[in-house]
Amino acid sequence: MEKNKDSIILGIESSCDDTSASVIKNGMLLSNVVANQSVHHQYGGVVPELASRAHQENIVPVIDVAIKNAKIELTELTAIAFTRGPGLLGSLLVGTSFAKSLSLSLDIPLIDVHHMKAHIHAHFIQENNIEKKAPEFPFMCLTVSGGHTQIVYVKSPLEMEVIGTTIDDAVGEAFDKAGKIIGLGYPAGPLIDHHAKKGDSTKYNFTYPKAGQLNYSFSGLKTQFLNFINKEKIHNANFIDEELNNICASYQSHLIKYLLKNFEKALALYPCKDLAIAGGVSANSELRLQLKKLGEKLNCNIHVPKMEFCTDNAAMIAMSGYFLEKEGLFTGLDATPSARIPM
């Protein structure tokens, strides 16, 4: 890209069950539109085939509104950034195919984006009239979503090292699956967060699974939770109804302590002045509170994304696109989506 030329990027996100489009000009947000898919609620989880069909229905209107809200013409775009993975293959295919055809018709470059790196790039989105201090490099980011749980050492916008990860389920799944066991809707993370605010987090105890130095394991916790609920229900059939807030508070507090226990260990090995969280679970109020306390204890600056940039959104994809465009890192029309892509 020519120096001094404006960068105007359209970001397209379709990795799971949110269809989103966003326009970012020189790192500044012009629009961000997200269409959620309510069709999955009745199934207690995302149904991949239904997700890709809903993306097909939503993608044209979502992009149309994003362009209109940004008050630009399609012809002003300098590049199109899309999520190539990780995610659900059928869902990724919709965004990838659309991005390719639009780049071909506008004759502008394509940029393929890694969804989990983009969650971290969400910290760099600038908005008009909102003062936002981006993290300083190197910083440590706890990236927590429905599909991933990672401790990432971020050396520069494009240099990231995963130093801890889950060996099985993601922490978002640990929230969602526990929620299903106690009859909460999907996604259960925000609902557990809501009930936990009214409960006693010290009432019930769980143990920490072992997964090695900085890694996590959540599948055992889900079983531990199921066994605990079944055992209590033998004595009291109304246990869930009567104890819902305390159950949520105790389980949530345990998950957050586990997350931050390894995060703190990582910081001892890789000291950083700036700490960040990213991904859907970073919307959790207890995680935000405990991170703030950790920042105070370690005398570090903390960075928490704005709510709309925690869960899946295309603004973070456009932001990744902005960093990649600066380095001339484009992709070709032969780009293929991938369900799994290493960082």
* 172 touching ligand KG4, by CB under 6 A: yes
Q: Should residue 147 be labelled a site residue for ligand KG4 when binding is judged by CB under 6 A?
A: yes
Distance separating alpha carbons of residues 127 and 278, to the nearest angstrom? 18
Select the residue interacting with ligand KG4 from 160, 283, 291, 300 (CB under 6 A). Answer: 283
When asked if residue 83 is in the footprint of ligand KG4 (CB under 6 A), the reply is no
The residues facing 22 across adjacent strands are 11, 32
Among 90, 135, 146, 199, interactor with ligand KG4 by CB under 6 A:
146
Residue 176 site contact among ligand KG4, Zn ion, none (CB < 5 to 8 Å, cut-off depends on kind): ligand KG4
| Shortest distance (Å) from residue 111 CB to Zn ion | 18
Sign of the four-CA dihedral 222, 226, 229, 231: negative
Residues of 43-71 as b/e, b for ≥16 C-beta within 10 angstroms?
Answer: ebbbbbeebbbbbbebbeebbeebbeebe
Least distance in angstroms from the C-beta of 252 to ligand KG4 = 7
312 binds Zn ion (CB under 5 A): yes
User: Residue 48 touches which of Zn ion, ligand KG4, none (CB < 5 to 8 A by kind)?
Assistant: none
Q: Does residue 45 belong to the site contacting ligand KG4 (CB under 6 A)?
A: no
- Of residues 25 and 148, the one with the C-beta less far from ligand KG4: 148
DSSP 203: S
Please, which of residues 184-243 interact with ligand KG4 by CB under 6 A?
A: 187-190, 193
Tokens matching residue 343: 């960082």
Give the residue, chosen from 109, 157, 279, 337, that forms a contact with ligand KG4 under the rule CB under 6 A.
279
Q: CA-CA distance, 211 to 233, in Å (whole number)?
A: 30
Token pair 């960082």 is found at 343
Separation of alpha carbons 312 and 326, rounded Å: 23
Encoded amino acid at 133, one letter: K
Least CB distance from residue 292 to ligand KG4, whole Å? 16
Q: Which of 78, 262, 311, 320 binds ligand KG4 (CB under 6 A)?
A: 311
Per CB under 5 A, 149 contacts Zn ion: no
Is the Cβ–Cβ distance between 288 and 282 less than 8 Å? yes
Helical pair 48-70 and 89-106, crossing angle rounded to 10 deg: 30
**Residue 280 lies near ligand KG4 (rule: CB under 6 A):** yes
Query: Which CB sits closer to ligand KG4, 45 or 138?
Result: 45
Number of residues this chain uses to bind Zn ion (CB under 5 A): 2
Which of residues 103 and 320 has its CB atom nearest to ligand KG4 in the complex? Answer: 320
Which does residue 284 bind out of ligand KG4, Zn ion, none, counting CB within 5 to 8 angstroms by kind?
Answer: ligand KG4
Q: Does 175 bind ligand KG4 (CB under 6 A)?
A: yes
Q: Is 145 in the site for Zn ion (CB under 5 A)?
A: yes
Per-residue CA distances from 49 to 46, 73, 90, 191 (Å): 9, 33, 7, 25
Three-class SS string for 257-300?
A: HHHHHHHHHHHHHCCCCEEEEECHHHHCHHHHHHHHHHHHHHCC
- What DSSP string describes 207-243? -PPP-STT-B--HHHHHHHHHHHHHHHHH-TTHHHHH
Residues forming the site for Zn ion (CB under 5 A): 145, 312
Residues forming the site for ligand KG4 (CB under 6 A): 16, 145-147, 172, 175-176, 187-190, 193, 279-281, 283-284, 311-312
